[in-house]
Structure 1
Amino acid sequence: MTSLPPRNVAVSTQGRPPGMPPRAQRKSVAGAKAKTRKPVLWVLFKLIFFTGLLFCILFAGWFYLTPSGYQYRYMLADSIITTQHREWAKYIIGEKALRERVAQYANRFEQMGEERDQHTITGVPTDEGKTDEQPDAGKLTTVEEVDGEGFHGFLLTVKDPKKIRLVVTNRVGRGEKITSMVKRTGAIAGVNAGGFADPNWKGNGFKPIGLVISNGKIYYDGLGGKKSVQIVGIDKQGKMLAGKYSIKELMDLGISEAVSFSPRIIVNGKGLIKNRAEGWGVAPRTVMGQREDGSILFLLIDGRQPGYSIGATLYDAQQILLEHGAVIAANLDGGSSTVLVDEKGTIVNKPSSSAGERYLPTGFLVFENPDAVQVPNIWAGMKPAEIDGGKW
């Protein structure tokens, strides 16, 4: 005998729990929800896509068709030109424009070194003017931080220019880190100086560019057939020299320490760069200057580090040095070579090289007793043409 189900209890059909709608009805509900989600996601995707496309069109129009976009585009290209990936700038301004831009800067830098410098120095400050309100008045070196539009850096002031010596690497076939130079020689401060040949961008730092002069002697002459070259240095009286000179002129002027680099950006108290657009892009910088009282100024700007410091143009560096009383100033090797080291051998700034501090051929170092410093000529007996700057 078949028993009947209890009253008021629903009977399951085909294994379906009581109260659940049939399978066909469940599928239709799920399908409706999916169809509702798909149009929403598709509309959102199209909104994002077309908004991005519109932004790209507007940006391209501004970047390529407006005066402000043109200025930004060339500043970006100039910034790339100062790196080891110079050829990438062609994707922004074109290959022809890149070649023309590099040639324009080369010609402009030569012109900026032509005017003869007439500045004089009044002498090295003494301790006589020191007061309790000026605790640093008697110190040989001081370091202060500087800031500007998108950049951060440091200004090293050396009160006695005769305390500066150009130190060179101590190992054949390889440059030397400035931290090593400072520790090895007992210097109280050091910065990078001249540039070097780096054909494969491995940075062995052994083959300098142009001239290297230390303690009045020519350590390296890579001029070839050139009769003159742009130099940055100091004579035996402590006066800074910068600009275009022949070797004979330098010797007649009593040159003491010098490297080849350019451009000179301040001469006879006036800046040579008119605005930021002519400032050769944004990059890490090392610039040397001098005040009328003889103090040497080393300005080091960090760069290529978003969120900390992007870098500065040469115009920015020029203006900072003018504000600090510079009557002459010139560019030194910058980029990933830019480094400031204190007497403990500690790096003060933040070099931009991902590989760390670079190996360099030369550095301007500060000493309490520079006459006691021995700087052997590592290039003695070598012919520049036979030195491979790409090998360690």
Structure 2
Amino acid sequence: MSSSLPQSNAVSKKKKKPVRKRKKKSFLRTLSRLFLILILLLIAGGSWLYFAPSAHNLRYLIADTLITTQHRYMAKYIIGEDELKDRVKEYNERFVHMGDEKDTHTIVQPPVEVEKPLVEIEEVSGTGYSGYVMTVNDPTKVRLGVPGKIGSGEKVSSMVSRTGAIAGVNGGGFADPNWKGNGFKPIGLVISQGKLFYNGLGGKKSTQIVGLDKQGKMIAGNYSLNELSDLGVQEAVSFQPRLIVNGKGLIKNAAEGWGIAPRTAMGQRDDGALLFVVIDGRQPGYSIGANLYDVQQIMLKHGAVIAANLDGGSSTVLVKDNEIVNKPSSQYGERYLPTAFLVFEHPEQADITNIWEGLDPAKIDAGKKRTH
């Protein structure tokens, strides 16, 4: 019997090997089937996305979202190159017309019953997005901040700290070649403390602006330099589109909302309080972003009678008490920007000088390496 034991073990070992091989083959077959199913699903999903009428809105949502990023060119793989050009042209034309209606809103100062804090911040959220609404209860306390050194933009947190502001939000756009701009060449106009700091219109007679007049009334829409002067505009940047005029939302639905992205916008209630909406984006699991219709609806819900879009994307940032409140989407953190709306307890003491004085806008290198 003792001589039979080793033989029995040998037989046992020989029987186990085919079992392992069968399990391995079974696993490979299952993996192959899953891979095939995945390929078929991708083909089916791609066919639906590109050819099904029911996928039209989703197709353009993806394209519009790509248009708002540095990967705009990729939108042509979703809707085609010709359609991409037409889409961008259509939006630009629509945005211009959204600034044409004359704004007639007035500020009615309510009787002061309870003294409110100058700045209040609340969280907002919706489908796919999270962000903040900053209310500035005295609009005359806002000034437009600009960089402190020639040759480079400046982070909003730095502007806030350097000028002694209590809060700040990014402002207008800037030339940004290959999304590597230094933030020093604004797009359009920059007006601060009633003075024209920068004129990059290049012969254009008018531009879409977002700003404030001497009484703290918000001015937004399409205006010429002479009109801005007649209106007594004190603080302003160029940007578009206007979202609300005379208490009426201008964007009909989400399909016209220009994709999903981080957003910044400015609005005003009829009691004069300014509303800054800051929506984070491009961060799955936290906030993907919002379209302009979402921002418009947030503004309307908070009582805005006028509102306009500001520079968004990776520029979107909200600073309060020298702390960044939101989560900027840029992998490098805050961007260097040319302008920011800053809130001061004592704006008359703010030291904001014209950093572009004497410079020719046409000769400013937008992509030159930052000096600080």
TM class, shorter-length:
over 0.9
1:110 to 92, 96, 102: 96
3-state SS of paired residue (2:177): coil
3-state SS of paired residue (2:104): coil
* Deviation of 1:51 (Å): 2.0
1:1-392 matches, within 5 Å, as 9-10=2-3, 17-21=6-10, 29=15, 32-33=18-19, 36-123=22-109, 125=110, 128-130=112-114, 137-343=115-321, 345-392=322-369
Moved more, 40-49 or 316-325: 40-49
Once residues 40 and 362 of structure 1 are traced to their aligned partners in structure 2, the CA distance between those partners, rounded to angstroms, is 63
Moved more, 34-43 or 172-181: 34-43
Residue type matched to 1:276 in 2?
A
* Deviations 1:279-308, CA, capped at 9 Å, x for gaps: 000000000000100111000000000011
* Deviation of 1:238 (Å): 1.1
* Deviations 1:169-193, CA, capped at 9 Å, x for gaps: 0100001111111111111111000
Structure 1: tracts of 5 or more residues without a match: 1-7, 131-136
Residue type matched to 2:98 in 1?
M
Once residues 299 and 44 of structure 2 are traced to their aligned partners in structure 1, the CA distance between those partners, rounded to angstroms, is 39
Say which one has the larger Rg. Answer: 1
* Deviations 1:250-298, CA, capped at 9 Å, x for gaps: 0011110000000001011100101111100000000000010011100
CA contact (8 A) 1:82 1:283 kept: yes
* Deviation of 1:85 (Å): 1.5
Residue type matched to 1:281 in 2?
G
CA contact (8 A) 1:289 1:330 kept: yes
4+ residue segments displaced more than 2 Å: 8-12, 17-22, 29-39, 64-68
* Deviations 1:187-210, CA, capped at 9 Å, x for gaps: 111100011111132231101000
Residue type matched to 1:10 in 2?
S
* Deviation of 1:386 (Å): 0.6
Once residues 203 and 373 of structure 1 are traced to their aligned partners in structure 2, the CA distance between those partners, rounded to angstroms, is 27
Once residues 348 and 383 of structure 1 are traced to their aligned partners in structure 2, the CA distance between those partners, rounded to angstroms, is 36
Once residues 367 and 29 of structure 2 are traced to their aligned partners in structure 1, the CA distance between those partners, rounded to angstroms, is 56
Moved more, 201-210 or 66-75: 66-75
In 2 relative to 1, CA 68–371 (structure 1 residues): closer, same or farther, beyond 3 Å? farther
Residue type matched to 2:332 in 1?
A
CA contact (8 A) 1:203 1:358 kept: no
Moved more, 87-96 or 209-218: 87-96
CA contact (8 A) 1:192 1:364 kept: yes
User: What is the TM-score normalised by the length of structure 2?
Assistant: 0.95
Structure 2: tracts of 5 or more residues without a match: none
Identity %: 61
CA contact (8 A) 2:50 2:78 kept: no
3-state SS of paired residue (2:196): strand
Residue type matched to 1:91 in 2?
Y
* Deviations 1:357-385, CA, capped at 9 Å, x for gaps: 11111110011111121211000000100
3-state SS of paired residue (1:200): helix
Residue type matched to 1:167 in 2?
G
* Deviations 1:58-110, CA, capped at 9 Å, x for gaps: 31233123344221121111111111121111122221111111111111101
Paired position in structure 2 for 1:134: none
Residue type matched to 2:216 in 1?
G
CA contact (8 A) 2:171 2:310 kept: yes
Once residues 291 and 349 of structure 2 are traced to their aligned partners in structure 1, the CA distance between those partners, rounded to angstroms, is 38
Once residues 178 and 356 of structure 2 are traced to their aligned partners in structure 1, the CA distance between those partners, rounded to angstroms, is 21
3-state SS of paired residue (1:297): strand
CA contact (8 A) 2:70 2:178 kept: no
Corresponding pairs, count: 369
3-state SS of paired residue (1:388): coil
3-state SS of paired residue (2:120): strand
CA contact (8 A) 2:137 2:274 kept: yes
CA contact (8 A) 1:290 1:296 kept: yes
User: What is the TM-score normalised by the length of structure 1?
Assistant: 0.90
Residue type matched to 1:177 in 2?
K
